[in-house]
A and B are shown apart, each in its own frame.
Chain A
Amino acid sequence: MSKNYLKLQFYSYPRNQAFARDAVAAFCLELNPSLSDLSDVKTAVSEAVTNCTVHAYKNECGMVEVECEIEDNKLHIKVSDRGAGIADVKKAVQPFYTSLPSDERSGMGFTIMQTFMDEFSVESVYGEGTVVYMSKSFNPEVENA
């Protein structure tokens, strides 16, 4: 399969969360994903983009960038913001850790990205922004009934 590439740029408005995950899901349809894989990708993107709204920009308006690349049977996703950044990434990725416990946040966002995707990493500079990288391989033989 040849390469394909997508770049989305949008404001960190909460109402754009659904748009972003649906756009990425539509983009990876050419990989013939199983419904379960498609759902995993949507959820992981939703987590990453929600982090931009809630944590990076703290509900102020900022720019979110989602880049996707398909290479053979693999989908690479990069979600970046120029927001607050994360002071302690190691702590932030721990299951159930949340910086906003009063807000009914589960602290499971990074854990879900990690679990639902094959590869996951976070780079963040405090005060400058955060980049999340995720990738997932798709089995080309899957047939959706």
Chain B
Amino acid sequence: MVVTGYLKDRTLYLKLSGEMDEYSSREARARCDKLIDDNVNAKKIIINLSEVAFMDSTGIGFLIGRYKKAARLNVPLYVQQPNFAADKILNLSGIYSLIPKAE
């Protein structure tokens, strides 16, 4: 799983690409957390899921972990463009009440 990030207008955009499972999430966690730590002046974090081809329940745990980290920094977290399958899992978990979908 590849994680890329950039800061624009004080919004930190994190893009995940590849398959999100228990195996691949380990590195993605560390990578995302480093990008969040390196951009503490961000006012908002948006995780883009458009290139996540597969996601199981690991994705829920992953997002909740990043949500907690962002909440400690007082920064709201959003997700963007989950594919049909990822959307199904995220809906089932009710996670959108914590981490809303951004346009």
Closest to B59 in A: A106
- In the complex, whether A137 has a CB less than 8 A from a CB of chain B is no
The answer for the CA separation of A68 and B55 in the assembled complex, in Å, is 22
Cβ-neighbour of A43 out of B23, B64, B65, B89 (below 8 A): B89
Closest to B20 in A: A46
23 contacts between A and B (CB under 8 A): A14-B23, A18-B19, A18-B21, A21-B54, A36-B84, A39-B54, A39-B84, A40-B85, A42-B54, A43-B55, A43-B85, A46-B54, A50-B58, A54-B22, A104-B29, A104-B61, A104-B62, A104-B64, A104-B65, A106-B60, A106-B93, A108-B93, A109-B56
Q: How large is the interface on B (under 10, 10 to 19, 20 to 34, 35 or more residues)?
A: 20 to 34
Residues of chain A within 8 A of B62, CB atoms compared: 104
Once the chains bind, are A46 and B56 in contact (CB under 8 Å)? yes
- In the complex, whether B57 has a CB less than 8 A from a CB of chain A is yes
Q: How large is the interface on A (under 10, 10 to 19, 20 to 34, 35 or more residues)?
A: 20 to 34
Residues of B whose CB lies within 8 Å of any CB of A are 19, 21-24, 29, 54-58, 60-62, 64-65, 84-85, 89, 92-93
- In the complex, whether A17 has a CB less than 8 A from a CB of chain B is yes
Task: Label chain B's interface by main secondary structure.
Answer: helix
With contact pairs A104-B65, A106-B60 given, residues A39 and B23 touching in the complex (Cβ less than 8 Å): no
Supply 19 further A-B pairs (C-beta < 8 A) apart from A18-B54, A108-B60: A14-B21, A15-B23, A21-B54, A35-B84, A39-B54, A39-B84, A42-B54, A43-B55, A46-B21, A50-B21, A50-B58, A54-B22, A104-B61, A104-B62, A104-B65, A106-B64, A108-B89, A108-B92, A112-B57
- In the complex, whether A111 has a CB less than 8 A from a CB of chain B is yes
The answer for the CA separation of A42 and B83 in the assembled complex, in Å, is 15
Residues of chain B within 8 A of A47, CB atoms compared: 56-57
Closest to B93 in A: A108
The answer for the CA separation of A50 and B21 in the assembled complex, in Å, is 8
